[in-house]
């Protein structure tokens, strides 16, 4: 499966469906832990398109909910969370054609190989990363400053060199900050 595949085809792919089911289950389990039904109340959102508001039932519930963060959940690593992640990992591994019990190190190595092979394939296709357009000539691509025509005082045009935006940001960061507003009288 790659990003180049249309969504309609992916939705029918059993590998994508398995990943979607496992990811949805993980999300629901985490959501139920973070916002347990006995501690929250759901208020409908008045703005269309926004999700309903999840609010604590009372001050005791609010205090308990402050402790229920994803960080605290993952630090505790309950068995149900480990199982849900294992199911999602197995679905992703199956989509790649790998064994379900692949180690993290082996999976990372295979992903690196896949990434490098795709990058090499892109290098073979000369205009793959430019959406079919020809890249700029070498002189324009390597140019470090843009030339902007600026009309001078007597209507005379001058060319002013302006650094690219990333260099401009570096220049501005080094410049002293000007304070605006009035000073208070002491």
pLDDT in tens, 98-149: 999 999 999 999 999 999 998 888 776 655 555 555 555 555 555 555 555 5
What rounded mean pLDDT belongs to the chain? 80
HSE value, Cβ hemisphere, 13 Å, CA-based, for 51 = 4
Domain interval for residue 32: 7-103
Question: How high is the pLDDT of residue 132?
Answer: 56
How confident is the model over 172-181, as a mean pLDDT? 53
Question: Is 75 a member of any domain?
Answer: yes
What is the model's pLDDT at position 10? 79
Q: Is the pLDDT assigned to residue 171 strictly greater than 70? A: no
Number of compact structural domains in the chain: 1
Task: Note whether residue 26 is domain-resident.
Answer: yes
Q: Given this model, what pLDDT does residue 93 score?
A: 95
**At which residue do the structure tokens 């009309």 appear?**
151
Query: Is 83 among the domain residues?
Result: yes
**What is the tens place of the pLDDT at every residue in 27-38?**
999 999 999 999
pLDDT at 52: 94
21 lies in some domain: yes
* CA 121 to each of CA 43, 110, 127, 136: distance values in angstroms, whole numbers, following the listed order: 52, 17, 11, 21
pLDDT of residue 157 exceeding 60, the answer is: no
What is the structure's pLDDT at 8? 80
The values of phi and psi at residue 149, to 5°, are -75, 125
Higher pLDDT: 95 or 161? It is: 95
Radius of gyration of the chain (CA): 28
Q: What is the pLDDT of residue 186?
A: 47
Domain-embedded: residue 84? yes
Residue 7 pLDDT? 78
| Helix (H), strand (E), coil (C) string for 41-60 | EEECCCCCCCCCEEEECCHH
Q: Is residue 165 part of a domain?
A: no
pLDDT, greater one: 183 or 66: 66
Give the pLDDT band of residue 166 (cuts 50, 70, 90): low
Are 164 and 146 contacting, i.e. CB atoms less than 8 angstroms apart?
yes
Asked, for residue 73, whether it belongs to a domain, the answer is yes
> Residue 151 domain-assigned?
no
Q: How far, in Å, CA of 34 to CA of 32, rounded?
A: 6
Tokens of 23: 């990811």
């Amino acid at each position: 499966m790659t990003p180049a595949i249309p969504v309609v085809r992916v939705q029918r792919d059993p590998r994508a469906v398995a990943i979607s089911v496992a990811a949805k289950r993980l999300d629901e389990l985490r959501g139920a832990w973070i916002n347990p039904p006995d501690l929250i109340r759901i208020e409908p959102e008045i703005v269309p398109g926004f999700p309903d508001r999840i609010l604590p039932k009372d001050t005791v519930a609010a205090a308990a909910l402050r402790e229920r963060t994803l960080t605290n959940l993952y630090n505790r690593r309950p068995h149900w969370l480990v199982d849900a992640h294992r199911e999602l990992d197995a679905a992703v591994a199956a989509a790649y054609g790998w064994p379900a019990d692949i180690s993290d190190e082996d999976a990372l190595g295979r992903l690196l190989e896949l990434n490098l092979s795709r990058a090499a394939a892109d290098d073979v296709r000369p205009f793959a990363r430019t959406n079919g357009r020809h890249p700029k000539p070498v002189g324009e691509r390597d140019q470090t400053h843009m030339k902007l025509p600026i009309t001078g005082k007597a209507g005379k045009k001058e060319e002013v060199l302006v650094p690219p935006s990333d260099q401009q940001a570096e220049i501005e960061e080094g410049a002293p900050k000007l304070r605006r507003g009035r000073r208070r009288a002491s």
